[in-house]
Amino acid sequence: MRKKTFLCLIFPVMCLGLLVGWKIFTRSQAKVFRFPIEGYDPRDLLSGHYLRFQVKYPMSEDCGKSSFSPHALCLEPDIRIIDAKAEYKDCMHFIEGYCSANRFYSSSKVDRFYIPEEHAIDLEALIRNPLHKPSVDLFVLPDGSVQIKELLIDEKPWLSWINP
């Protein structure tokens, strides 16, 4: 009976440890890129406890005329749009996504930054100020997906503005 109880308790802990280890490993394989953000709606800037925005990806050429056509944004060695069906072997870091209305969107849906409720009002005031330039640092993973690392305001982490 004790062995079954022990196994029932240790199994979820082991699974959680494996999940954390996998996340640490994938982020160690990622490279961080910084992009400006825009397009936040001042009427609904903070909805719940997250900030909604659009990442302004660098564009070197036309993103395609067709709506929601699959593409990838190559970031290294040069910035360019590549066809999602093409091979990515000459592109060291890329983001998978799609084109719509001559704009690139990531498939990973990095359009929200979750924040603690007690900092929502202060962050909203910073973002609305036209003198500040907000941006995000994104982990670009080897499979073309992205994850948000940090929200920045004028190249400094947002929390350093709230707690100087």
**Total of domains in the chain:** 1
Asked if residue 8 is part of any domain, the answer here is no
Q: Decide: 158 and 126 in contact? Cβ < 8 Å.
A: yes
Can you give the residue range of the structural domain that contains 87? 31-162
Asked if residue 9 is part of any domain, the answer here is no
Higher pLDDT, 32 or 115: 32
Higher pLDDT, 80 or 43: 80
CA dihedral 116, 118, 124, 126 (to 10 degrees): -100
Asked if residue 146 is part of any domain, the answer here is yes
Asked if residue 39 is part of any domain, the answer here is yes
DSSP string, the chain: -HHHHHHHHHHHHHHHHHHHHHHHHHHHT-EEEEEEEE---GGGSEETTEEE-EE----SS---SSTTEEEEEEEESS-EEEETTS--TT-SEEEEEEEETTEEEETT---EEE--GGGHHHHHHHHH-TT--EEEEEEE-TTS-EEEEEEEETTEEHHHHH--
Asked if residue 46 is part of any domain, the answer here is yes
Asked if residue 100 is part of any domain, the answer here is yes
Asked if residue 87 is part of any domain, the answer here is yes
pLDDT in tens, 73-119: 888 887 888 776 666 677 888 888 888 777 788 888 888 788 777 77
pTM of the model: 0.75
pLDDT of residue 4: 81
Asked if residue 106 is part of any domain, the answer here is yes
